[in-house]
Structure formats: structure tokens, C-alpha cells
């Protein structure tokens, strides 16, 4: 499939487990992917892998916790390509703890990366999408934004905000043919998840056993859903939140 031929795509958090899978999937279907991450080395590795496999990609380091960096990122992409067809707001971080356990800094950086960055990136991207007659925005929310898990208040609240942001943006810009949708993953096998499981003294097998499907999700499975939502095969989906959990309830 070449659903993204001639499309310019930005993937934030593109150096991470889910983000890199999204970047590779959209590139494999013909997209020119801008891999952006606060870790420039990770972004470069993903972009180089895509180029080595015959795809089109470039890496841009950006700390999207800063509004100025969000605007610079979009400006740099527009200067190079003159358009942005797809924005995947995937970057995110997790600070664990209840309200008494997390610090003010934990709260503020979680909100800055997980939701406020989306505000600034979408404000920078949408005018161009209106001018070109449409576009697609896919936001990574979380199952926990819809059904909060215990002792993750900052993460849960930020992802609930992403869900509401997605629905609001979809409603406001559907008349401009800008489709805004969100994916809400459950547990996904990434390096971040492995580290958390190890820290809790558990194993991946323990986590797999909690999922009715028999295992946690794979980054490539999230990427496949993002690709569908970003593609012309989902022309009437706008303002939707799609859970992808293997039927797992929140622990």
C-alpha cells in the first residue's frame, strides 16, 4: 500500500517505541516522515533506518515542552516541504504517583509534554491545513485517560485532556476537512513499559496474564491503527477515540 505517497508527515516522540513504529509504518506506505524527538540521537537512528530501507525521512530534534520549539519545528518543516499533511502527536511521558507523591515539577512537565505541546503544534499546523484543503491529525491518548489507573494522577489527567482536546478539535475543524482522531492504547510492549515492570518487581509474563487476549500490545499494532486513521480509508472518522487494549480492563 502507498496510502501516504506525496504526504508530508510529522511524528512527535518518533524516537521512542511507539513513535518509531508509527514513523516506520507511515514511511513504508510512501510518506515523507519528519521524525522529531527531544532525544536527537534517537530521532536520527529512526530516520537513518527509514532511509536505509528506501523510505523518505529526516530527523529534527525539538523539546516540545517549550512553545517556541513547537513553532520552530513546524516552521522548519514548512520551510523544507511547504506543507504538512499529517501530524501525529505521539510524544508523551509518565510520572508515577498519587497527588501527594508527585512533585509540582512532575505535574508541570507532564502537562507540558502530554497536552500543552499538542495545543501549540496544532495551532501552528492548522492554518496551513486549512489553506491546502484538509489534513489529518492523530493524537496518542491512553486507555488510562478514559479509565484512570491508580497512582498515576498526572498521566491520567493529561491523557484525559488529550481525549477531550481531540474531540473538541475534531468538532471545530471538521468543516475544513481536517480529521482529528485519537488512539487510546492499553499496555504496549516498549522499553518504557519493560523498565516500569522491572521496577515493580514483576515480569512481562505477569503483565501478559492480565490481558484477555493473552499478551500486551505491540508498537506495530498501534502504528497500524494510526496509519488507518491518518489515511483516506477513514474519511468519515473525525473526533473519534479508538481504544486498542486486547480487551484489558484497567488494573
Q: How many Å is the Cα radius of gyration of the chain?
A: 17
Which contacts qualify for 196-205: CB closer than 8 Å, 24 or more apart? 196/94, 196/96
| Cα–Cα dist 111/80, whole Å | 30
**What does the pLDDT read at residue 251?**
62
- What digits encode the pLDDT tens for the residues 161-196? 999 999 999 999 999 999 999 999 999 999 888 888
Provide the whole-model pTM.
Answer: 0.96
Mean pLDDT for the chain overall: 96
Q: Where are the beta strands (DSSP E) in 142-218?
A: 178-185
Task: List the one residue out of 101, 60, 94 whose CA is nearest residue 77.
Answer: 60
| Cα–Cα dist 179/75, whole Å | 21
Which SS3 state, helix, strand or coil, does residue 200 take? coil
Residue 245 has pLDDT above 70, yes or no: yes
**Class of 8-188+219-244 per CATH?**
alpha beta
Q: Where are the domains of the chain?
A: 8-188+219-244
Residue 70 has pLDDT above 70, yes or no: yes
**What does the pLDDT read at residue 162?**
98
Q: Which three cell numbers stand for residue 116?
A: 500543552
Q: What percentage of the chain reaches a pLDDT higher than 70?
A: 100
**What does the pLDDT read at residue 191?**
85
**What does the pLDDT read at residue 193?**
87
Residue 159 has pLDDT above 70, yes or no: yes
Residue for grid cell 512537565? 109
- What digits encode the pLDDT tens for the residues 16-43? 999 999 999 999 999 999 999 999 999 9
| Cα–Cα dist 243/94, whole Å | 19
Catalytic residue chosen out of the listed positions 24, 152, 153, 155: 155
Which SS3 state, helix, strand or coil, does residue 177 take? coil
**What does the pLDDT read at residue 188?**
95
| Cα–Cα dist 94/18, whole Å | 14
Of 42-56, 123-137, 197-211, 231-245, the poorest mean pLDDT is in 197-211
| Cα–Cα dist 245/251, whole Å | 12
Q: Is 155 a catalytic residue?
A: yes
Q: What percentage of the chain reaches a pLDDT higher than 90?
A: 94
Of 133-147, 181-195, 217-231, the poorest mean pLDDT is in 181-195
Find out whether 184 and 242 touch, Cβ atoms under 8 Å: yes
43 CB-near residues (< 8 Å, 6+ apart): 14, 15, 35, 36, 37, 59, 60, 61
For the chain, helix, strand, coil in percent to 5 are: 50, 15, 35
| Cα–Cα dist 93/109, whole Å | 8
Query: Average pLDDT of 85-90?
Result: 98
Amino acid at each position: 500500500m502507498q496510502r501516504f505517497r506525496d504526504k508530508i508527515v510529522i511524528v512527535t516522540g518518533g524516537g521512542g517505541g511507539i513513535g518509531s513504529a508509527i514513523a516506520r509504518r507511515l514511511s513504508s506506505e510512501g510518506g515523507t516522515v519528519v521524525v522529531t524527538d527531544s532525544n536527537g540521537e534517537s530521532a536520527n537512528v529512526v530516520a537513518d533506518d527509514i532511509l536505509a530501507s528506501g523510505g523518505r525521512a529526516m530527523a529534527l530534534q525539538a523539546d516540545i515542552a517549550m512553545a517556541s520549539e513547537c513553532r520552530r519545528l513546524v516552521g522548519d518543516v514548512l520551510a523544507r516541504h511547504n506543507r504538512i499533511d499529517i501530524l501525529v502527536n505521539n510524544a508523551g511521558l509518565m510520572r508515577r504517583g498519587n497527588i501527594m507523591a508527585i512533585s509540582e515539577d512532575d505535574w508541570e512537565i507532564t502537562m507540558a509534554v502530554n497536552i500543552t505541546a499538542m495545543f501549540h503544534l496544532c495551532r501552528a499546523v492548522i492554518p496551513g491545513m486549512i489553506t491546502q484543503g484538509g489534513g489529518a491529525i492523530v493524537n496518542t491518548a491512553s486507555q488510562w485517560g478514559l479509565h484512570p489507573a491508580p497512582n498515576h494522577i498526572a498521566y491520567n489527567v493529561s491523557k484525559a485532556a488529550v481525549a477531550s482536546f481531540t474531540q473538541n478539535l475534531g468538532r471545530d475543524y471538521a468543516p475544513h476537512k481536517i480529521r482529528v482522531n485519537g488512539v487510546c492504547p492499553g499496555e504496549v510492549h516498549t522499553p518504557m513499559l519493560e523498565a516500569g515492570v522491572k521496577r515493580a518487581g514483576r515480569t512481562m509474563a505477569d503483565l501478559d496474564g492480565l490481558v484477555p487476549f493473552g499478551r500486551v500490545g505491540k508498537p506495530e499494532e498501534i502504528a497500524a491503527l494510526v496509519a488507518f486513521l491518518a489515511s483516506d480509508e477513514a474519511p468519515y472518522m473525525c473526533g473519534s477515540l479508538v481504544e486498542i487494549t486486547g480487551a484489558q480492563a484497567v488494573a
